[in-house]
Structure 1
Amino acid sequence: MKLSKRNMTKEDALHILDWKYEAPYEIYNQERAEENLAEFLNGTYFSLVDDQNRLFGYYCSGVSAQVPAGNKYGVYEGDAIDMGLGMNPVYTGNGHGLDFVVAILDELELKYGDYMIRLSVATFNTRAIHLYEKVGFSKEAEFTNGITQFITMTRHQ
């Protein structure tokens, strides 16, 4: 599958805010609120589209990719590029994850070069954790936001 990056548009952001994930992934559902829209349009988010220009997913980097509660635990200290991502729920669980994550890693490598990439993932999301391990990420630290347990994972480009 060939995925292409484009700048996040308001239309893409509104579409993403309407995505609904089934249990247990519903923690990734977002409200269509002004602050969420503003976050997607802050310049750190990019859309990924398939060869038919359908919105396949998105990614972000930097502070936007961090789970704020992780700062209390010091999990974002050190030199690393934080990566966040979301796949259109229409495509999840259908074997597209590897292409999706590799496309994002390729984009980050183009932008940042040979740098450590870090991501945060809910510990219950074993499907994603397995995929991240498959592309070379390893578990680093654990933390909680009071509701959900998370781990950080790192990978050297």
Structure 2
Amino acid sequence: MDYFVRNMTEDIAKVVLDWRYEPPYDFYNSVVKEENMVELLEHGYLGVFDENDQVIGFFCTGSAAQVPVGHLHGVYREDFIDIGLGLRPDLTGKGLGYSFLLFILGYLETVFQNKRFRLTVAAFNKRAIHLYKKAGFHPFTEFDTDSGGFLVMVLEMKP
């Protein structure tokens, strides 16, 4: 499958915010409201599209990809590019996550010229953790919030 990136627009943001995941992944559900639209439109989110021009996912970098409570635990002190991502609910669990993640990593390598990546994943999300390990990420640290535990994973790609 071929992927390409587009800047987040209001139309793409509305589609993404309307996605509904099945439990327990409904943790990632959101709603179309002003503060969520602002988050997607003003914090560097990008849409990922397939060869049929359908939005299949999104990603972001930097502070938008961090869980704010993690700063209280000091988990974001190291110099990494933080990544946040999401795949359309009907595409999850079908073996597409690996190619989706590799596409994002390849894109980010060309943009940032940095080979140190970090992501924060909900600790219950064993499916995503398995995917990230398959791509070469390894556990770095973990922390808890009122909404649950999080695992911070890092990847240092070879030059």
TM-score by length of 1: 0.97
Segments of 5+ residues of structure 1 without an aligned counterpart are none
Aligned counterpart, 1:136: 136
State how far apart, in whole Å, the 2-side matches of 1:134 and 1:93 are: 15
Secondary structure of the structure 1 residue equivalent to 2:91: coil
- Give the structure 1 partner of residue 64 of structure 2: 64
Question: Does the 8 Å contact 1:50/1:56 carry over to 2?
Answer: yes
RMSD: 0.8
- Could you tell me the percent identity over the aligned residues? 43
Query: Are the counterparts in 2 of residues 65 and 83 from structure 1 also a CA contact under 8 Å?
Result: yes
CA apart distance, 1:19: 0.4
Query: Which digits, 9 at most, give the CA deviation of each residue in 1:9-55, with x for residues without a partner?
Result: 11000001100000000110012110100010015110000000000
Residue 67 (structure 1) shift: 0.7
- Aligned letter for 1:10? E
Q: Which amino acid aligns with 1:18?
A: D
| AA at the equivalent of 2:146 | G
- Counterpart AA for 2:149: Q
1:150 alignment counterpart: 150
User: Would you say how many aligned residue pairs link Structure 1 and Structure 2?
Assistant: 157
How far does the alpha carbon of each residue in 1:112-137 deviate from its partner, in whole angstroms, 9 at most, with x for none? 11331000001111110011001110
* TM alignment of 1:1-150, pairs within 5 A: 1-150=1-150
- Equivalent position SS for 1:140: strand
2 CA distance for matches of 1:147 and 1:9? 29
Tell me if structure 1 keeps the 8 A contact 2:56–2:87.
yes
1:156 is displaced (CA, Å) by: 1.1
SS of the equivalent of 1:27 reads: helix
The TM-score with structure 2 as length reference comes to 0.96
The CA distance in 2 between the partners of 1:39 and 1:82, in whole Å, is: 16
Q: Which runs of 5+ in 2 are unaligned?
A: none
